[in-house]
């Protein structure tokens, strides 16, 4: 590390990339985080509270590339568009390796399954009023200011084509104070749009809003949890079955990543006759597993289970699928009750599944597949399973959060 004090700035040598995508320079006073810098770069910057400001790159990295989005310098949605693909994918793999190392887990981590641009099918936008103009997009990096987007190379073209229409709807729904939150999902039948925090007096504009939804050819329009119009059931193809997810409900961010995750899960389950799918959502894994094994799908979210139940009412030659609504954080399935399953798959929220994993570790279930979007809590849960006698077989990162510091991961385990 080279550090040379000038009258106004400090010369920093960036040596690594942090878990949020910031460059890190080591100094006698501790690490300094340098937003937008890459390993191997020298930068001039002011230092304040361990962060660099007013950054000027003196020596760029050969891995630096031009960002593909015009909003990149301000938008807080992406953090690593300036990093070439090979080192970008290796950085994401390293995020998993580091998280595992923190829990004392040494294992081979497979190369990252990559994500294509223009593939993300769901987005959460913010809308705000600026005079008579509606700003719609994302917040700036580390700021409450809005970036009014005209493009987003991460999202599928169908969502970008709908931005003008979303602004028209937002104009009708803006509260007098505060911001609007807009969940958009691209489905086989069109856009599924759900507004949250809308003006409570929107009921007086039902006719206008309905007309706009028809003009924009939306599949469904939901406002503050109430479905105003459903022209067509918004559907996602989950292994050959059409599932209509609840408004603003959880779905995998990209179709390609969903298919990759499902293939990894199916390979990791062995050849089971009966599988427990925990944190099952609307059936992303359950419906595919049910082609070869009976499934017990457990989920706490009632609308998600309703979507799964509705999909199962259409005959498709599946094995038996049973459904249970249950909060697995408060009421995990006990080890003795897991004994009837040949395999367990769990895909919890970012907080992980510690209480449930502790019961799995006490069971004799032969195969376990863990899916997670948080390497830190995944590593914690895997540590519990390993200490309980399971052997970690494979770990595969799947990148469905392009240019962001987030990474999905599938880990397979076997009880010898």
3-state secondary structure the chain: CCCEECCCCEEEEEEEECCCCCEEEEECCEEEEECCCCCCCEEEEEEECCEEEEEEEEECCCCECCCCCCCCCCECCCCCCCECHHHHHHHHHHHHHHHHHHCCCCCCCCCCECCCCCCECEEEEEEEEECCEEEEEEEECCCCCEEECCCCCCECHHHHHCHHHHHHHHHHHCCCCCCEEEEEEEECCEEEEEEECCCHHHHHHHHHHHHHHHHCCCCEEEECCEEEEECCCCCEEECCEEECCCCCCCCCCEHHHHHHHHHHHHHHCCCCCEEEEECCCCCCCHHHHCCCCEEEEEECCHHHHHHHHHHHCCCCCCCCEEEEECCCCCCCCCHHHHCCCCEEEECCCCCCCHHHHHHHHHCCCCEEEEEECCHHHHHHHHHHHHHCCEEEEEEEEECCCCCCCCCEEEEEEEEC
| 252 annotated among ligand-binding-site residues | yes
Any bridge partners for residue 152, and if so which?
none
CA dihedral 360, 365, 371, 374 (to 10 degrees): 30
| 408 annotated among ligand-binding-site residues | no
CB contact set of 333 (below 8 Å; sequence gap of 6+):
276, 278, 298, 326, 356, 359
Which tokens in the block code for residue 331?
Answer: 């009421």
| 211 annotated among ligand-binding-site residues | no
| Residues belonging to the active site | 373
| 9 annotated among ligand-binding-site residues | no
Residues annotated within the binding site for S-adenosyl-L-methionine are: 252, 279, 299, 347
């Amino acid at each position: 590390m080279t550090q040379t004090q000038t009258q106004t700035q400090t010369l920093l040598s960036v040596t690594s990339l942090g878990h949020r995508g910031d460059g890190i320079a080591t100094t006698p006073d501790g690490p300094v985080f340098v937003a937008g810098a890459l390993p191997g770069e020298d930068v001039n910057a002011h230092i304040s509270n361990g962060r660099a400001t007013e950054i000027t790159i003196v020596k760029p990295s050969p891995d630096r590339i031009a960002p593909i989005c015009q909003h990149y310098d301000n938008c807080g949605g992406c953090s690593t568009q300036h990093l070439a693909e090979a080192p970008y994918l290796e950085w994401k793999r390293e995020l998993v390796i580091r998280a595992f190392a923190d829990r004392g887990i040494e294992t081979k981590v497979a190369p990252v399954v990559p994500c294509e641009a223009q593939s993300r099918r769901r987005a959460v936008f913010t809308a705000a009023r600026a005079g008579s103009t509606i700003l719609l997009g994302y917040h700036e990096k580390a700021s409450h200011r809005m970036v009014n987007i005209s493009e987003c190379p991460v999202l599928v073209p169908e969502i970008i084509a709908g931005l003008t229409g979303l602004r028209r709807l937002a104009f009708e729904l803006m509260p007098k104070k505060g911001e609007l939150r807009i969940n958009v999902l691209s489905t086989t039948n069109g856009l599924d749009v759900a507004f949250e925090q809308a003006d409570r007096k929107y009921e007086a504009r039902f006719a206008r809003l309905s007309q706009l939804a028809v003009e924009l050819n939306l599949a469904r329009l939901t406002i503050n949890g109430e479905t105003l119009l459903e022209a067509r059931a918004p559907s996602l193809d989950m292994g050959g079955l059409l599932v209509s997810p609840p408004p603003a409900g959880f779905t995998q961010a990209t179709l390609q990543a969903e298919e990759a995750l499902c293939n990894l899960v199916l390979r990791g389950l062995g050849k089971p006759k009966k599988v427990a799918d925990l944190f099952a959502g609307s059936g992303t894994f359950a419906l595919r597993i049910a082609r070869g094994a009976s499934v017990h799908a457990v989920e706490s979210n009632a609308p998600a289970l309703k979507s799964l139940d509705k999909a199962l009412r259409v005959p498709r030659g599946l094995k038996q699928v049973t459904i249970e609504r249950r909060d697995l954080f408060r009421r995990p399935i006990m080890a003795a009750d897991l004994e009837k399953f040949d395999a367990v798959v769990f895909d919890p929220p970012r907080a992980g599944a510690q209480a449930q994993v502790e019961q799995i570790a006490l069971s004799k279930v032969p195969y376990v597949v863990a899916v997670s979007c948080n390497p830190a809590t995944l590593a914690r849960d895997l540590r519990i399973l390993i200490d309980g006698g399971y052997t970690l077989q494979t770990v595969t990162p799947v990148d469905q959060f392009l240019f962001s510091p987030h990474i999905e991961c599938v880990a397979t385990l076997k009880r010898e």
